[in-house]
Structure 1
Amino acid sequence: MTFASSTPVKFNSVEFRDGQQSLLATRVTTEDMIPLLKRMDEVGYDSMEMWGGATFDVCIRYLQDDPWNRVRVFKRFMRHTPLKMVLRGQNLVGYRAYPDDIVEKFVECAAKVGIDIFLIFDALQDLRNCETAFRAVKKAGKKIEGSIQYNISPFHTAEKFVENAKEQQRMGAELIHVEDMAGLMTPPAAYELISALKSALDIPVHLHCHCTGGMAEMCYWEAIRAGVDGLDVCVSSLGLGPGHPPIESFVAGLKGTPRDTGIDVGQFTSLNTAFQYMRKRYAEYESRLIGVDVGCLQHQIPGGMLTNLENQLRTMNALDRLPEVLSEVTRVRADMGYPPLATPSSQMCGAQATTNVLTGQRYKMVSKEMRDYCRGMYGMPPGQISPELMKKALEGEAPITCRPADLLEPGWEKAKSEIGDLAHSDEDVLTYALFPAIAVDYLKKKYGQEA
């Protein structure tokens, strides 16, 4: 067996963010994470992704769990492992573009509470939407991890991915993260892309795959052979299905090779018992899509979104319509110009597909978010939006061509004024600025006031 590198493979832990988002609908509370933190800190991870994505929204919408305090708690226990968050470029941890001053303030506060690495991506790979976040992270003196949203379309090739990654390196990225959020990647594609990125870049490359399509572990092995520097993993009892490959498999499989990780596989016995308990505790939220779903090669829905889409259809007593919705997702994505199905384009596509199926008419109802997408408020899609969707969404209005955030008025002082004395800190103001519809009730409960 030959390897393009002889350095130990590094691991990024994703249990507390994408792991629980993919398998347990992001419902795990900070309190239930605490007993695991000291042991996780001793494993030997290169970093731990534990914030961002859907965690912020779920904390304030469903859990009454202070998202900012979650980072502080982790920082108290994680003495050796850098903390990472997933930042959706100009969308931060929300589902729309926020003004530049909100982006800057958010990064400043996130850095202060303890985020060391900012994994920044844009759902459409429109890097104009990452510029402000990159600058803010540089100013805060923290690490920028750029991201490639892997997907399959007529507009996405290895050459295009490399070109995008090189631009992110030029912008200041210190590491490139390849995210196969829907489990689409094949082993040959993994070898080809990682080899191309390693040849073209001067910074490390990490790979993130979901097990949805059943090929993630094979892709990881081929990426290791191609010289990948790091992999995103979960412990085995919180892995697989729409989640991620287990770390133990790679620790054991690489032992004695030039890429030996040096990590003791024995330490995962007690950790797995603890994560098994967590999984049972949150069983009501667990994805029923356990195993392999080769349908992901068509619908390309990310693991975390599959779980949430399933839960939403269940609450509408329409779970039996899931196959129809997944099929419609394929058609809607093509109509949208083949965006990678990362947040928020995945939510827009999934919601529109659900509406189309449940109403029985395509685009009879078009959401405000989809209208804004067609206007260009989320950036430039890889391909052309279909004339049918453009007509229904814009009703003759012309789309924009500038950077979307250039059209937004500053938001910080406005948010401070609107939330007033209910905010006790800059963090509270940001929570309101990001989620005004739910933040007021959340903050009232947080401070013991009537909601």
Structure 2
Amino acid sequence: MSEVHFIDTTVRDGNQSLWALNMRTGMMLAAAEKMDRAGFDSAEFFVTVMFRKLVREHKENPWDWVRLGTKRFTKTRLRWHGGLKGGFEKVPSCVLRLMMERVVGYGITLNRTSNCWNDYEVFREELKGLRSVGMNTVVNLIYSVSPRHTDAYYARKAREAAALKPYAICFKDVGGLLTPERTRALVPLVLKNAGDVPVEFHAHCNNGLAPLCYLEAVKLGMKTLHTAIPPLANGSSQPSVYNVAQNLRALGYAPAIDESVLQPVTQHFSAIAKNEGLPIGTPVEYDQAQYLHQVPGGMISNLRHQLKLVGMEQKLDATLVEAVQARADFGYPIMVTPLSQFVGSQAAINVIVGERYREVTDQTIQYALGLWGKEGSSTDPGLKNGSAGNLPSLPLKRSDDNLAGTASQMRNWCCESWPAKNTSKLFSQSAHRRNTSTPRGP
């Protein structure tokens, strides 16, 4: 029987997708040793945004989980999720490099990360930087549905990813959009064009099809799957390791996992869910509308919350409809962090204001200027030149770590673009506060 291997995502993606990273350090530590004995090839351990979550909300030192957790996993190779690029914000490369150096110092030498455009030319320098600090990288090849994301596109992108000689390629369906039919079409193409680079499969259950797609992928030669342990499986997370392993055995495959060791882990996390009022991951019904707006499941709940704060929760459906047009205006970006948040937030603002691009987010401006990838600069002209959302050429030059430009250039540009917002007064007040602030020591 052909062996199939598993990557565990429970404390990272399961925690992030279903529990909004609301597991605290002690909760994860209590399950670590049992998870370590199950036979996972690797386990996702940390995502960069956990720094903010643990510090701001849980009032914990995030390095405690790194320091203590790495001691509990002695058999399973741990993975860091993220690279040398920021997620929602532009973080200086030197900061992220220092972080990675410390991570490697704790023995985590494998990471998985993405370029949100599947732009592997841009990825090349990041991969080089990660190797220089001792990190092996699994590069994501992200699936999406649009006129530009064709079979030929994925064959070409698989070749480009393989040319970087990464540790592995992860074919990633972040939106739960893959169908068994598309799986049968694309998995052979990806495997063929990846050559001798190993390929993994990572999918979310947003639309209920991921468990079926996993089985189809294995039939076509996929050897490594990403799963989660219930109650942090299903829903908007990954398929359940129990369900996938059981179905693979029924098909005659040999899952390289010992599920019996994981039963106490399920009991532990189920007790936490009950005590903390956290959701239990359950299978999701199929929803055709998911293919129209492609907004990830976890983000829909956040949009509902944001609309509720302004008394417009009833506008959620209209926001999802608007997201279809916004994504087209943005040039069909892959709906993955941070691009999905840019599209969804702008769609919500369009609905709230009642006019497209009359008000725009900072990220929409940055996106249209190409600061979030060169493909972002090829947006629909209506986004750049809308009636009140004009985006004239910003007199700044892009660089890896900063934006070179003067305050006066920024002030003039903003005043020309949005005169009604009295930005001149805003900048004057800002300069006054800066010039009259109490001097600080070195």
Is 2:66 the counterpart of 1:71? Answer: yes
Q: Deviations over 1:102-130 (max 9, x none)?
A: 34323222222342311120112223442
The whole-number CA distance in structure 1 between the counterparts of 2:288 and 2:262 is 30
Classify the secondary structure of the residue corresponding to 2:393. coil
**Deviating more after overlay: 80-89 vs 331-340:** 80-89
The residue aligned with 2:11 is 16
The whole-number CA distance in structure 2 between the counterparts of 1:284 and 1:316 is 25
The residue aligned with 1:50 is 45
Is the 1:22–1:305 contact (alpha carbons within 8 Å) kept by the matching residues of 2?
Answer: no
Classify the secondary structure of the residue corresponding to 1:83. strand
The residue aligned with 1:429 is none
The whole-number CA distance in structure 1 between the counterparts of 2:56 and 2:65 is 15
Is the 1:11–1:46 contact (alpha carbons within 8 Å) kept by the matching residues of 2?
Answer: yes
Is the 1:71–1:114 contact (alpha carbons within 8 Å) kept by the matching residues of 2?
Answer: no
Q: 1:130/1:278 Cα in 2 relative to 1: closer, same or farther (>3 Å)?
A: farther
Matching residue's letter, 1:95? F
Q: How does 1:283-432 map to 2 (within 5 A)?
A: 283=277, 291-381=285-375, 384-392=378-386, 393=389, 395-397=391-393, 405=400, 408=403
1:112 to 96, 105, 119: 105
Matching residue's letter, 2:328? A
Is the 1:377–1:404 contact (alpha carbons within 8 Å) kept by the matching residues of 2?
Answer: no
The residue aligned with 2:128 is 135
Q: Deviations over 1:15-60 (max 9, x none)?
A: 1111121111222211211111111111111111121153233223
1:163 to 156, 168, 173: 156
Q: 1:65/1:308 Cα in 2 relative to 1: closer, same or farther (>3 Å)?
A: farther
The residue aligned with 1:25 is 20
Q: 1:280/1:269 Cα in 2 relative to 1: closer, same or farther (>3 Å)?
A: same
The whole-number CA distance in structure 1 between the counterparts of 2:61 and 2:162 is 34
2:229 to 235, 239, 242: 235
The residue aligned with 2:255 is 261
Is 2:173 the counterpart of 1:180? Answer: yes
Q: How does 1:67-106 map to 2 (within 5 A)?
A: 67-87=62-82, 90-91=85-86, 94-106=87-99
Q: 1:27/1:129 Cα in 2 relative to 1: closer, same or farther (>3 Å)?
A: farther
Q: TM (normalized to structure 2)? A: 0.83
Q: 1:282/1:308 Cα in 2 relative to 1: closer, same or farther (>3 Å)?
A: farther
Sequence identity (%): 27
The whole-number CA distance in structure 2 between the counterparts of 1:285 and 1:96 is 29
1:280 to 249, 274, 285: 274
Is the 1:98–1:408 contact (alpha carbons within 8 Å) kept by the matching residues of 2?
Answer: no
Q: 1:331/1:56 Cα in 2 relative to 1: closer, same or farther (>3 Å)?
A: farther
The residue aligned with 2:427 is none
Is the 2:357–2:383 contact (alpha carbons within 8 Å) kept by the matching residues of 1?
Answer: yes
Higher relative CO (Cα under 8 Å, sequence separation at least 6) belongs to 1
The residue aligned with 1:197 is 190
Q: 1:47/1:262 Cα in 2 relative to 1: closer, same or farther (>3 Å)?
A: closer
The residue aligned with 2:143 is 150
Matching residue's letter, 2:40? Y
Classify the secondary structure of the residue corresponding to 1:63. coil
Q: 1:311/1:88 Cα in 2 relative to 1: closer, same or farther (>3 Å)?
A: farther
Quote the offset at 1:148 in angstroms.
0.9
Q: Deviations over 1:181-225 (max 9, x none)?
A: 111001121122221121122111111111111211111011011
Classify the secondary structure of the residue corresponding to 1:228. coil
Is the 1:72–1:113 contact (alpha carbons within 8 Å) kept by the matching residues of 2?
Answer: yes
Quote the offset at 1:101 in angstroms.
2.8
Q: 1:327/1:152 Cα in 2 relative to 1: closer, same or farther (>3 Å)?
A: same
Matching residue's letter, 1:144? T
Matching residue's letter, 1:226? L
Quote the offset at 1:331 in angstroms.
1.3
The whole-number CA distance in structure 1 between the counterparts of 2:317 and 2:232 is 25
Matching residue's letter, 2:33? K
Matching residue's letter, 1:111? V
Q: 1:53/1:190 Cα in 2 relative to 1: closer, same or farther (>3 Å)?
A: farther
The whole-number CA distance in structure 1 between the counterparts of 2:281 and 2:304 is 8
Unaligned runs of 5+ in 2: 405-442
Pick the structure with greater CA Rg: 2
Quote the offset at 1:272 in angstroms.
1.8
Q: 1:116/1:259 Cα in 2 relative to 1: closer, same or farther (>3 Å)?
A: farther
Classify the secondary structure of the residue corresponding to 2:375. coil
Unaligned runs of 5+ in 1: 1-5, 410-451
Matching residue's letter, 2:30? P
Quote the offset at 1:79 in angstroms.
0.8
The residue aligned with 2:239 is 245
Q: 1:299/1:152 Cα in 2 relative to 1: closer, same or farther (>3 Å)?
A: same
CA RMSD across the alignment: 2.6
Q: TM (normalized to structure 1)? A: 0.82
The whole-number CA distance in structure 2 between the counterparts of 1:355 and 1:295 is 21
The residue aligned with 1:412 is none
